[in-house]
C-alpha cells in the first residue's frame, strides 16, 4: 500500500497538516491525499451541522492548498489536495458547481446522513422498528448508487458506513451489494477500502468481506484510504489494510492524477 487517498487535517476534524504528513512519510507511503470534510448544502440540518462543527473548507481550501504546497517540500511524499463531500441528491448542483470551481486533485463522495441524522448516531436508529431500520439501510444504498452515478467523485468512501452503527449492522443484503457493484462497474468512481474504524470497537475494514466478494465478482477495484484523523492512526491502519488485501483477494488500483 503506497498511496493513502483519505486522511483529514485541522482544516476539518483532524490534526495539524505537518503532523499528518510526517506520519504518512514515517509509515512508508509514497503519496497521501488530504481529503478534509466539506459541506456546501443549503438544507437546514447540514447547515446546522456545519456551524456546530466548524467545517469551513469551502472558504478555506485555497489557504489549505497553499499550505500543502509549502509543506510538501519538507517531506518525501506526493501530497494530493483533495476533499471529502457528503452527497445528497438535493445538493447535486451545489456540489458540482463547487467542485468545478475549486479544482481539487480529486474528490471523495460519502453518504453520512439518513433521515436528516448522521449515520453514527446509534440512539436515534436503535429506538426504531426493524422495518424502519431496514428502510434506512435501503435508503443508504439508494443514495450510494446515486452518488456513484452522479459522476462527481473519483472515490466513494466507506461504502457500507451503516455497518458502523450497531442498530443498522447486518441488515444489508447481497442484493444491496450487487446494485452498488453494478453501479461501480459502469462508472469512473471507485470504492475505497477504508480503515476508519478498523482499530476501534467495530474492528473491521469497510467494505465487509461479503461486500468485497461481490465487488470482485463485478471486476471492481478499490483504492486505499486509512481515513485517519490522528497521526498515530496512519501506520497501524496502513498495516491492517495491507493484511486485509493479502487475505481477502481484494482488487486494488491507483487513481490517475
Which residues lie closer than 8 Å to 14 by C-beta, 6 or more apart?
Answer: 7, 8, 20, 36, 228, 229, 230
Identify the pLDDT of residue 58: 95
CATH of the domain at 103: 3.20.20.140
Place of cell 459541506: 39
Mean pLDDT, residues 2-26: 97
Domain presence at residue 163: yes
In the chain, what percentage of residues exceed pLDDT 70? 100
Domain assignment present for 253: no
What is the share, in percent, of the chain residues with pLDDT greater than 90?
88
> What domain range is 218 assigned to?
3-248
Please indicate, yes or no, if residue 160 is contained in any of the structural domains.
Answer: yes
Give the pLDDT confidence of 199-212 residue by residue, as tens digits. 677 778 999 999 99
Domain count, the chain: 1
Tens digit of pLDDT for each residue in 84-93?
A: 999 999 999 9
- Describe the chain by its helix, strand, coil percentages, rounded to 5: 45, 20, 35
The DSSP code for 108 is E
Cis? peptide before 47, omega within 30° of 0: no
Residue 52 binned pLDDT confidence (cut-offs 50, 70, 90) = confident
pLDDT of 1 > 90? The answer is no
Q: Is residue 148 part of a domain?
A: yes
Q: Could you tell me if residue 26 is inside a domain?
A: yes
Task: Kindly state whether residue 89 falls inside one of the protein's structural domains.
Answer: yes
Q: Is 254 inside any structural domain?
A: no
Q: State residue 51's pLDDT score.
A: 77
- Give the pLDDT mean for 219-229: 97
The pLDDT of residue 77? 96
Residue-level pLDDT at 39: 92
Q: Mean pLDDT in the chain?
A: 94
Q: Contact, 33 vs 4, CB < 8 A? A: yes
In-domain check, residue 257: no
Amino acid at each position: 500500500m503506497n498511496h493513502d487517498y483519505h486522511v483529514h487535517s485541522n482544516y476539518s476534524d483532524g490534526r495539524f497538516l505537518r503532523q499528518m504528513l510526517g506520519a504518512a512519510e514515517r509509515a512508508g507511503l509514497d503519496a497521501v491525499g488530504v481529503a478534509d470534510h466539506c459541506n456546501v448544502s443549503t438544507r437546514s440540518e447540514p447547515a446546522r451541522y456545519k456551524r456546530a462543527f466548524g467545517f469551513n473548507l469551502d472558504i478555506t481550501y485555497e489557504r489549505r492548498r497553499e499550505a500543502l504546497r509549502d509543506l510538501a517540500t519538507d517531506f518525501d511524499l506526493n501530497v494530493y489536495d483533495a476533499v471529502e463531500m457528503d452527497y445528497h441528491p438535493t445538493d447535486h448542483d451545489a456540489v458540482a458547481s463547487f467542485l468545478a470551481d475549486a479544482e481539487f486533485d480529486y474528490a471523495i463522495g460519502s453518504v453520512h446522513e439518513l433521515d436528516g441524522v448522521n449515520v453514527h448516531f446509534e440512539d436515534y436508529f436503535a429506538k426504531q422498528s426493524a422495518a424502519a431500520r431496514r428502510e434506512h439501510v435501503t435508503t443508504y444504498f439508494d443514495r450510494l448508487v446515486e452518488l456513484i452515478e452522479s459522476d462527481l467523485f473519483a472515490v466513494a468512501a466507506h461504502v457500507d458506513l451503516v455497518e458502523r452503527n450497531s442498530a443498522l449492522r447486518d441488515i444489508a443484503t447481497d442484493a444491496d451489494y450487487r446494485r452498488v457493484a453494478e453501479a461501480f462497474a459502469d462508472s469512473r468512481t471507485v470504492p475505497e477500502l477504508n480503515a476508519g474504524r478498523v482499530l476501534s470497537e467495530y474492528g473491521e475494514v469497510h467494505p465487509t468481506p461479503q461486500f468485497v466478494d461481490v465487488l470482485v465478482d463485478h471486476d471492481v477495484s478499490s483504492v486505499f484510504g486509512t481515513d485517519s484523523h490522528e497521526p498515530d492512526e496512519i501506520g497501524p491502519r496502513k498495516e491492517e489494510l495491507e493484511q486485509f488485501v493479502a487475505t481477502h483477494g481484494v482488487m486494488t488500483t491507483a487513481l490517475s492524477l
